Amino acid sequence: MIKVIIAGFKGKMGSTAMQMVQEDADLILSALVDPFATEKEIDGVPVFTAKEDMVGFEADVWVDFTTPKFAYENTRFALENGWAPVVGTTGFTPEEIDELVALSAQKKLGGLIAPNFAIGAILLMEFAAKAAKYFPNLEIIELHHDKKKDAPSGTAIKTAELISKVRASQIQGAADEEELIAGARGAEFDGFRIHSVRLPGLVAHQEVIFGAQGEGVTIRHDSYDRVSFMSGVNLGIKEVVKREQLVYGLEHLL
C-alpha cells in the first residue's frame, strides 16, 4: 500500500487526483494540503494548511497540483521529508529541475515532474520530435482554459525542448518580418514560435504545425476532461516508489 499526500486538493486537478487515489485499493490517501482549507479533516484524512506542520509525517508520495509559484519549494520540501514527489504543477525552470534531480539522487528518492500526464500528449511530443527532423519549419499552438496562470504551458516548453534536440537550429519567417502589434508572432524558442490561447471551455490542447514546400503536417492532442491525466498520475505514484532518482517527463516511466 502506498501512502499518498495531495497538495492542492481543492483545485481542479488536485480534486480529480484525490478521487482517483480514494478509488484505488493499492493507494491510501494519507493527508491533504491547501493553504486556504478550513476543514481539519475530510473522510478521516487530516488536512494541513501549512506544509511546515507536516515535518516527520509518515507517507510515501507527495502529489502536487498547486501553482507555479509554490511547486519548486513544495517539491524540495517533499524530497527533504522523504516523500517521493509526483508533480503535475508546471512552471519549473531547467535549473530548478536539475537541482531537484540532484537532491533526489542524494536522498535516493524517486520522483516525477510531468508537464503532462496524458498518454496522448506524450505521444504528441514524441511524434512532433520525429517530424521535426524532416520538417524543421514549425509552430506550436497550445490552448488552455482561461484560469491557467503560466504561459506557455509546460507541455509546450517540453515539446519545444524535445524538438530542439533533433531539429537543425534555424530562424523561421522572413528576415525582414515586422510585428505591427507586439507579440503577434508569439514567443520565440530556438527560432520557432509558440502561441498560447486562453479561453473558457477549453481544458488542455496542443497542436504542432509543420510546413514545407507544397505540404504540411499537423499533430494535435486534446484533453477534454481532467480524467485524461489520471492514469498517468496513478502510474507515476506506483513507479516513483521503486526508483532512486527524480525524472522529468512521464515518458521516462513508461
Of 4, 13, 122, 140, which lies in the binding site for ligand NAP, with binding defined by CB under 6 A?
A: 13
Residue of 8, 47, 42, 48 whose CA lies nearest to 22: 42
Where is 103: in which H helix or E strand?
A: helix 94-107
68 φ/ψ angles, rounded to the nearest 5 degrees: -50, -30
Site for ligand NAP in 21-40 (CB under 6 A): 33-36
Long-range contacts of 23-30 (CB under 8 A, 24+ apart): 24/234, 26/1, 26/2, 26/238, 27/1, 27/2, 27/234, 27/237, 28/1, 28/2, 28/3, 28/4, 29/4, 30/3, 30/4, 30/5, 30/57, 30/58, 30/59
Which CB sits closer to ligand NAP, 68 or 82?
68
Indicate whether 11 belongs to the interface with ligand NAP (CB under 6 A): yes
To the query of whether residue 221 is one of the catalytic residues in this protein, the response is no
Site for ligand NAP in 58-87 (CB under 6 A): 65-68, 70
* Of 144, 158, 195, 221, catalytic: 144
Q: Is 116 marked as a binding-site residue? A: yes
Please give the residue whose beta carbon sits closest to ligand NAP in the complex. 11
Radius of gyration of the chain (CA): 19
Where is 126: in which H helix or E strand?
A: helix 119-134
Which CB sits closer to ligand NAP, 13 or 219?
13
To the query of whether residue 148 is one of the catalytic residues in this protein, the response is yes
Which CB sits closer to ligand NAP, 59 or 135?
59
26 φ/ψ angles, rounded to the nearest 5 degrees: -90, -5
For the record, the C-alpha cell of 85 comes out as 514527489
Least distance from C-beta 13 to ligand NAP, angstroms?
Answer: 3
Binding mask 227-246 for ligand NAP (x = CB under 6 A): --x-----------------
CB of 140 within 8 A of CB of 156? yes
Binding mask 198-217 for ligand NAP (x = CB under 6 A): ------x-------------
Burial-class residue 40 by CB neighbours within 10 Å (0-12, 13-18, 19+). Answer: exposed
- Rounded-to-integer distance, Cα 31 and Cα 36, Å: 15
Which CB sits closer to ligand NAP, 135 or 248?
248
Q: Which residues are annotated as a binding site?
A: 8-13, 39-40, 88-90, 114-117, 145, 154-155
Q: Which residues are annotated as a binding site for (S)-2,3,4,5-tetrahydrodipicolinate?
A: 145, 154-155
Task: Tell me the catalytic residues.
Answer: 144, 148
**Site for ligand NAP, rule CB under 6 A:** 7-8, 10-14, 33-36, 65-68, 70, 88-90, 114-117, 148, 204, 229
